Amino acid sequence: MAAATREVAITAGELDLADELGMQLVRFMRAVHKAKAGVVTHGQDGIERAAYAILFHLIHDGPQRTSKLAESLHAEISTISRQSSSLVQHGLVERQADPEDGRACLLAPTSEGLRVFEENRRQRNQWLAEVLADWPEEDRLTLNRLLARLNSGIETSILQMADHGSAEAKGA
């Protein structure tokens, strides 16, 4: 049953905790945004930072059509096309024939794309390790466990909302 339709008794204390979490998440997102902005909007190779999300998806999810990337990244196809063209021009992504439909093409990471991705990942990990350097190991492990749990809960909720929306659309 979708979270939006089930009846759940939530106490005032739980709502207060949820409010505090909401404020901390907003603070977190702002801090991450500022940290990213401090890096610059373009990487050393001249590629928009936002385009790296395409590279991430292609490395983790395999070759994809532009339309699927746009859906996954909640972006317009024109934005994905522009950013992926830049990735292709820089040799980080290549276009391949779609084996299911020869008229279409798939975007896939190149070996250089994988190298650049891994370098960016190494830099991110170095930064995070520095931020957490004075935390006890137990706290770092707990943070990872709780963030994974929060992400899973949010992803499940999103799927339930989508299922609920599809069911309502069919019933309309």
Residue with tokens 């809960």, as numbered in its chain: 153
* DSSP string for residues in 47-92: -BGGGHHHHHHHHHH-SB-HHHHHHHHT--HHHHHHHHHHHHHTTS
List b or e across 32-41, with b for residues whose CB sees 16 or more CB atoms inside 10 angstroms: eeeeeeeeee
pLDDT digits (tens, 9 = 90+) for 91-131: 999 999 988 887 889 999 999 999 999 988 898 899 999 99
CATH of 46-112, one of 3.30.420.40, 1.10.10.10, 1.10.3470.10, 4.10.520.10: 1.10.10.10
Residue 2: pLDDT band with limits 50, 70, 90 = very low
pTM equals 0.72
